[in-house]
Amino acid sequence: DIVLTQSPALAVSLGQRATISCRASQSVSTSSYNFMNWYQQKPGQQPKLLIYESSNLASSLPARFSGSGSGTDFTLTINPVQADDIATYYCQQTRELPRTFGGGTKLELK
């Protein structure tokens, strides 16, 4: 199985940039696509899609969220961070079955 590694937590100040990383144990990219997605989960809620295929913003989401990366290294950026962004963020690879998720990065306020 492809293992996705995320830092457990990240502390950031409101209005600053947050950079959340996800590293895959093997490439999740092809020549055409990067099979990496990002989800946001707030306490007591279901996850919500943020970014698909590495860099595509899900519909109706603000441009403060962006994604990048290919191969084994991917990044979710939130700039600027707002109070409503305090949540846990998960990466997910869909290159191979089973589709796997990272352990999640909890975004906290400094």
Partner 1 sequence: QVKLLQSGAALVKPGASVKMSCKASGYTFTDYWVNWVKQSHGKSLEWIGEIFPNSGATKFNENFKGRATLTVDKSPSTAFMELSRLTSEDSAIYYCTRRDYYGSYIDFWGQGVMVTVSS
> 5 or 14: whose CB is closer to partner 1?
5
> 54 or 72: whose CB is closer to partner 1?
54
Helix residue ranges per DSSP H, the chain: none
**Taking CB under 8 A as the rule, which mask of x and - marks residues 33-62 in contact with partner 1?**
--x-x-x------xxxx--xx----x----
Residue 60, both tokens: 């109706």
Residue 91, both tokens: 């990466």
Contacts of 31 (CB under 8 A, 6+ apart): none
> 4 or 12: whose CB is closer to partner 1?
4
